[in-house]
Structures are given as structure tokens and as C-alpha cells.
Amino acid sequence: MKFDPIFSFCNGHFLNKEGQPVTCAGKVFDREDIPHLLSLDEAQAEKLFSALKTDNVSFIQWPVTWEAIEPEPETYDEMYLANLRTVLKKAEDFDIYVFIQSVCINWSKALGGLGAPLWTLDAAKITPQDTAESQEKAKNTMFAYFWSGNQIAPDFLIEGDTLQDYLQNRYIEAMKHTARRIKDCVSVLGFNFISQYETGSHPLLTTNTTNFAEECFNPFITKFQEAFQKKHGHYLYLADLIPLHAHKNLATTVQLLWEDEDANDTKKVALLSLSQLGLSSDPDAIKNLPLLQELQQKGVPIFLEIPKDFTLNPAETEKLSGLSYFSMASRVSTLLT
């Protein structure tokens, strides 16, 4: 089932179906609320979206995890996916548009986070001890394998694939399967390629924040987008660059990721944080940021993420007209009361 795009990007602007520029003032949920949202039922979803709509929210990032989708290799949790579809159809009732946000915090729940399933550690032959040091090392190693396994473990093969290709292919297949199960949800605008990831570390790893975008991130998001293009050509994609906060030349990174994109028909948007850009919540400073203006002139569409410790009053929010952004939603427990 294919839909005509509800929104698109052109020359750095977010456009509606009529081709008019619009501002996406959206919400993202606190990481502590993600486990609750993964198990939300239909009645709770209706209450949540009603509260969001009352607050004039029309765009959100809705969290999913690889583990919830594929708890065992090539075995999908169809009950979870059916419930996800029900929740997203409820968002449709309130005219709330959704980017699916695949979160990967500390790699896995087994390492004190949320994201990848336990079997990925088994596949990589990693058995962390129940200590902070061991779990930190396991997390860094798994992210390094995911992004750079072909460099650090080229002879580690699973079913004929290198460990990096195996992990990335299974992840992308899980997201594609999710897309198949929610294909009739017109509220879904697209996917965040991967959210709240880390670049990883390993003694053999030579990739750093200077070349991570070119050698690791760009090939991955290209493969992800190509996998989705045939059946889900209307989707838009958020490229979460917030984890690259240590990058010395963010403008170069963003331009690299969009150098092959047609500014009149791009499908992906850079997600950047105000804190990453070294800014306060002063709207004038945000709009006048040279980097932001430079990237917009080059046709790179940008969503800003406003950290939860930044607050904007209505007058300040009005000043952001023309910029698309996600700010932190109220806690789910508050929205459901």
C-alpha cells in the first residue's frame, strides 16, 4: 500500500501537500517514558493523543526498539507490532503525524539501556559480567561491531556475512518488517534511521568522529533508505546527528551526508540539538546561527531538538517560525492523568 507524501522537503523547507512551507513544532518523549510507551494500550493511546492535541501538538517521534520487534533472530513479535499499528491508527484519529524513532540507548536492555535484542550479544560472542565496567566495555564493543565490524573483525562471519553486515542487515530487516505491519497508517511520515546511538570504541578501531560520518554513518543510512525505497517511497527520514556532538566540523559532516541529494527532492533531514550547536534557548541566536543559515542555503532540511532543560515561552516560540523542531513532551504519567 502506497500513499502520496503528506509532507516533503524542498530547498531546506518543510512543505505540505499544497507545496506551502510549514513549521513542524513537534514533541519527543523522555527516555524514561519509552518502556511505558512500548506497551501502551488503545485506551491509553487515545488519552495520550487527546492530551497532546489539546497542547496543539501535531508531530511526534514515537519510540520503538529492535528488541521489541525481533526478540529472537528472524522471529518477530507480531502481537507487539499489531498493538503498535493500533496505537498509530489512534494518532491518525487526532491528526498527529509520527516519525518512528528506533532508539538504541547503551545498545541493549541487557546492558542497562534499551534497543538491540539480547541475541545480538550472543551472536557477537559477548557475555558481559554484572559490573558497570564490563557492561560499558560490552556496549562500546557492540556499537563498534555494528558500525565498523568490517574493519575490526573482517573474518567474523555469521551465515556468510561479516558481523557488521549481519547486525545491520537484521536491524534494517526488522525496521522493514515494522513498516510492512504499519503500512496503512497514514499518520506515519517515516523513520528516524537510528536514535540515541553511540559510535563505539575498540582497541582496533581507527574510525573517529572526524571520519565516522563518511565511513560508517553515511553508508548505513544509504543502505537503509535503499531498502525502504521500493515499498515505502513516500517516507521521510530523520538522520540523528546528535550523537556526533564531539565532531569538530559539523557543517562538513552534514554537507557530506547530503552531497548526493537533490535539494528539490530530498527525503532525509538532519536532526541537530541546540546544545550540540552550543546555543542557549534564545530564539534570535538560533535563527541567526551562521551554520544553520549556511546549511539551509544549501538546501539541507534541519530539525532542531530542544533539550528538556530549555524552555520557550509562547513569544519565543513564535520567533522560531520557519524552523522545524522537536521539544520534550510532558511526562507520560502527566499526560495520562
Entry pTM: 0.92
Q: Which residue has the cell 540515541?
A: 196
Which of 199-203, 250-254, 264-268 tops mean pLDDT?
199-203
**What pLDDT sits at residue 62?**
97
**What pLDDT sits at residue 288?**
72
pLDDT tens, 296-330?
777 788 888 887 777 666 666 666 666 788 888 99
Mean pLDDT score of the chain, rounded to an integer? 87
Using a pLDDT cut of 70, give the percent of the chain over it: 86
**What pLDDT sits at residue 204?**
79
**What pLDDT sits at residue 314?**
67
> 280 or 52: which carries more pLDDT confidence?
52
Neighbours of 43 (CB within 10 A): 10
pLDDT tens, 170-192?
999 999 999 999 999 999 999 99
**What pLDDT sits at residue 293?**
74
Exposed / middle / buried, residue 138 (Cβ in 10 Å: 0-12, 13-18, 19+) = buried
**How far is Cα 207 from Cα 145, in angstroms, rounded to an integer?**
12
Q: Per-residue confidence at 269, pLDDT binned at 50, 70, 90?
A: confident
**How far is Cα 308 from Cα 178, in angstroms, rounded to an integer?**
29
Query: SS3 of 326, please?
Result: strand
Whether the Cβ atoms of residue 336 and residue 48 lie closer than 8 Å to each other: yes
Side chain identity, residue 305: E
Exposed / middle / buried, residue 155 (Cβ in 10 Å: 0-12, 13-18, 19+) = exposed
**What pLDDT sits at residue 109?**
94
**What pLDDT sits at residue 276?**
66
Side chain identity, residue 299: G
**What pLDDT sits at residue 52?**
95
